[in-house]
Amino acid sequence: MPPEPQTTFTKNNPATGEPLGMYSIASSEQVNEAIEQAHKAQKIWKNVSLSTRKSFLQSTAKALMTEVDAWAQLISAETGKPLKDAIETDMTLAVSVLNYYSQIGPKLLKEKRYQLDQSFLLGLVHYERRVPKGVVAIISPWNFPLAIPMSGIAAALMSGNTVILKPSELTPGCGERIGELIRSVLKQFNLPENIFQVLTGEGSTGQNLIDGRINYCVFTGSAPTGRKIQTQLAQRGIESSLELGGSCPMIILESEPDLDAATSYAVWSRFVNTGQACAAVKRLYVPSSRYNIVVSLLREKINQLNQGLPDDPLTHLGPLINETQRDLIARQVVETLAKGAQAETGGSVPERPGWYYPPTLLSHVPLDSPVLTEETFGPVLPVVPYDTIEEVIEMANNTPYGLTGCVFGEEKEAEAIARKLDTGIIAINGVGMTNYGFASLPWGGRKDSGPGVSHSPQALLDTTNTQTLTKNLMYGFAPLKKPPWLFNHSGAPQDLAFSKAILRVFGGKGWLAKLDLAMLIGLIRNRSSKRL
C-alpha cells in the first residue's frame, strides 16, 4: 500500500529550533474546491463598485494598523527578524500598497472613452474596459511574509479578481493571519468570505494550485521554481508574473568622496533581514587603489553588528530561516574559502541553538567563487577589486540575475555607469532595495530575476484583461446605417478610387483635409441603401 499522504507540517522557530505550530497541507481536492468557490465569489466581487473596493482596501490597511505589535511579533517569531525590521520592512509596505491601489485603482480601472479618430467619422465610438482576469493565485516566499503577498493581493482584489494565497511553508502563520484579517473586513462589508482564501502547505500545494482552474499567477520565489511554474502555465495559455532571485552588484568609484557613508549603505543592504532579500547588495566592487581601506572600514562596521534573539532591541540581525538555508550559505562560503578567499569576519557556523550564521566579509574572492556566481541568500559580503570601469561593468553584469544594481561616486559619473547595468532597478548613491518600499514604482527584474512587475500601475493592470467596446452611433440613422465597407461591388473604376480615398484618410494626418472629391463621389455611389 502506498504511504498515506502527509496532511500536516510543523513550523519551527528559527531562533531556537523549537516548534512554533502545526499547519495543514491542503490536498489537491481542497485546492480544487477552493478554486471553484473562488470562481463563484468572483461573480459577485467583480460587480462590486470601484468605490466600495477602494473603501475595502482602505479598511484593510486600517485594520492592519490596529494590530501593529501582534503582527510584528508574529512576523518576527516566524522569520527570526527583529521586531523593528518587521514593522519597517514588512508592515510599512503592506499598508502603503493597500492605500496606493485604493487611490489609483478607481482612476486606472474606469472605462476610458477614445477621442476623435478616423472611426469617429464613421459614427463609431470606442471604450476601453479593464475586466478582472478571474481567480488569481498568489504564491509567496518567506522573507517578507506580509509585504510580498500583500502587494499582489491589493492589486488583484482592487481590480475585481478573487484571490487564493499559498504562503510559504516557512511562514504559514503569517499567511493564515492575512486570511483572518481580510475575511474580517469582508464580513464588515457583508461580502462573501471566499473572495479571499488561504491554502497552507508545501510546494505540492502550490503545484496543485498551478494545475487548477486559475486565471493568473503572481509568483515570488526562487528562479528554478518560478521558471517551472511559468512553463507549465504558458502551456495552458495562462499568464504569470514572476519576481525571482537577485545578485545586486554595488560599485564604488574612485570619485566617491565618502567611503564611510558608502560602506554603511553596503553593510545595511547586505545584512538587514540577515541577508535574505532578493535585492540585497550581494557583490561589492571597489577600485584596487581603495581596496584595503574599504575592507578595513567594512570589517570595523561588521564587527559592531549584534546578532541575537529577534526580540532583543539591540539585535541588528537574527538567524537564517532554517537549517537548509544555513547549510546552503555555509557550503557557499566553504567552497569560496577553498578557492583562496579570506574571511575578514565570520565564515563558520557558530555553536548555538537556532539557525544562526555570522555576518561574513570575504576578501580576495576569486571570480569563479559560488558567492559571486550564485545567489547568496544570507549574511555574506564578497569584496572584489577592479582597475578599469569597463572591467567593473563587465563583472557587475556577468550574472544570470538582473534585479538591482547600484553605483556610488560623483553623481554624473555614477549615473552614466549605473545606466549600463543590466538590471530592472538602478540606484545612484543609494541602494535599489529601498525602491521596494515605494508602491508607486515598478519593481521587476531581467534575466533570471523576472519577468514580472510588482507595484505601480502596471502590476494592477496586469491583473486585468482589456475589453474594447465599440458603439455604432449611425445604426439608428437610415442614410448611414450600412457603412461603406459592407458589400457593394459595382465593377466601375470609381469603386477603387473610393477605396484609395479611404486609404488617404487612414494614411495621413488631418483626416478632414482628406475629404476630397473621390470620397464624396464614393459616398454617394456607395450610399447605405445600395449596399448588399
210 binding ligand NAD? (CB under 6 A): yes
129: enclosing H helix or E strand: strand 124-132
- Give the nearer residue to ligand NAD in terms of CB position, either 247 or 526: 247
Polymer length of the chain: 532
- Give the nearer residue to ligand NAD in terms of CB position, either 205 or 263: 205
Among 14, 80, 145, 206, which residue interacts with ligand NAD (rule: CB under 6 A)? 206
Distance CA 57, CA 51 (A): 10
243 binding ligand NAD? (CB under 6 A): yes
- Residue nearest ligand NAD by beta-carbon distance: 206
What backbone phi and psi angles, to 5 degrees, belong to 402? -160, 55
Number of residues forming the site for ligand NAD (CB under 6 A): 30
* Site stretch for ligand NAD (CB under 6 A), options 2-10, 87-95, 219-227, 386-394: 219-227
Q: Is 146 exposed, middle or buried (0-12, 13-18, 19+ CB in 10 A)?
A: buried
One-letter amino acid at 131 equals V
Q: How far is the CB of 229 from ligand NAD (least distance, A)?
A: 5
172 binding ligand NAD? (CB under 6 A): no
* Cell 515570488, located at residue: 220
One-letter amino acid at 208 equals N
Distance CA 47, CA 42 (A): 8
How many other CB atoms are there within 10 angstroms of residue 487's CB atom? 7
- Give the nearer residue to ligand NAD in terms of CB position, either 135 or 278: 278
Among 100, 101, 377, 386, which residue interacts with ligand NAD (rule: CB under 6 A)? 377
23 binding ligand NAD? (CB under 6 A): no
Residue 415 makes CB contacts below 8 A (sequence gap 6+) with: 407, 428
Q: How far is the CB of 201 from ligand NAD (least distance, A)?
A: 7
Among 202, 410, 422, 495, which residue interacts with ligand NAD (rule: CB under 6 A)? 202
**CA neighbor of 443 nearest in space, from 144, 243, 286, 199:** 243
Among 79, 220, 376, 399, which residue interacts with ligand NAD (rule: CB under 6 A)? 220
403 binding ligand NAD? (CB under 6 A): yes
- Give the nearer residue to ligand NAD in terms of CB position, either 130 or 283: 283
Annotated catalytic residue, options 169, 278, 344, 406: 278
One-letter amino acid at 365 equals V
Annotated catalytic residue, options 78, 169, 243, 375: 243
Q: How far is the CB of 148 from ligand NAD (least distance, A)?
A: 6
Q: Is 302 exposed, middle or buried (0-12, 13-18, 19+ CB in 10 A)?
A: buried
Told to judge if 243 belongs to the known catalytic residues of this protein, a careful annotator would answer yes
Draw the binding track, 249-288, toward ligand NAD (x: CB under 6 A; -: no contact).
-----------------------------x----------
Q: What is the DSSP string of 376-437?
A: --SSEEEEEEES-HHHHHHHHH-SSEESEEEEESSHHHHHHHHTTS-SSEEEESS-GGGGGG
81 binding ligand NAD? (CB under 6 A): no
Q: How many helices (H) and strands (E) does the chain have?
A: 19, 19
Give the cell for residue 517.
472629391
| Residue 199, SS3 per DSSP | coil
- Give the nearer residue to ligand NAD in terms of CB position, either 229 or 414: 229
Q: How far is the CB of 445 from ligand NAD (least distance, A)?
A: 6
Distances (CA, A) of 110 to 22, 48, 160, 531: 44, 13, 12, 38
Q: Are 409 and 287 in contact, with CB atoms under 8 Å apart?
A: no
Q: How far is the CB of 311 from ligand NAD (least distance, A)?
A: 24
* Cell 581603495, located at residue: 290
Among 64, 229, 252, 286, which residue interacts with ligand NAD (rule: CB under 6 A)? 229
Distance CA 140, CA 152 (A): 9
| Residue 30, SS3 per DSSP | helix
Among 245, 354, 402, 409, which residue interacts with ligand NAD (rule: CB under 6 A)? 245
73 binding ligand NAD? (CB under 6 A): no
Draw the binding track, 119-158, toward ligand NAD (x: CB under 6 A; -: no contact).
--------------------xxxxx----x----------
375 binding ligand NAD? (CB under 6 A): yes
* Site stretch for ligand NAD (CB under 6 A), options 43-51, 119-127, 201-209, 515-523: 201-209
453 binding ligand NAD? (CB under 6 A): no
Give the cell for residue 350.
557558530
89 binding ligand NAD? (CB under 6 A): no
Q: Are 274 and 429 in contact, with CB atoms under 8 Å apart?
A: no
Told to judge if 174 belongs to the known catalytic residues of this protein, a careful annotator would answer no
Among 97, 98, 233, 244, which residue interacts with ligand NAD (rule: CB under 6 A)? 244
* Residues that are catalytic: 243, 278
Q: Which spans of this chain sit near ligand NAD (rule: CB under 6 A)?
A: 139-143, 148, 166, 168-169, 202-203, 206-207, 210, 220-222, 225, 228-229, 243-246, 278, 375, 377, 403, 445, 449
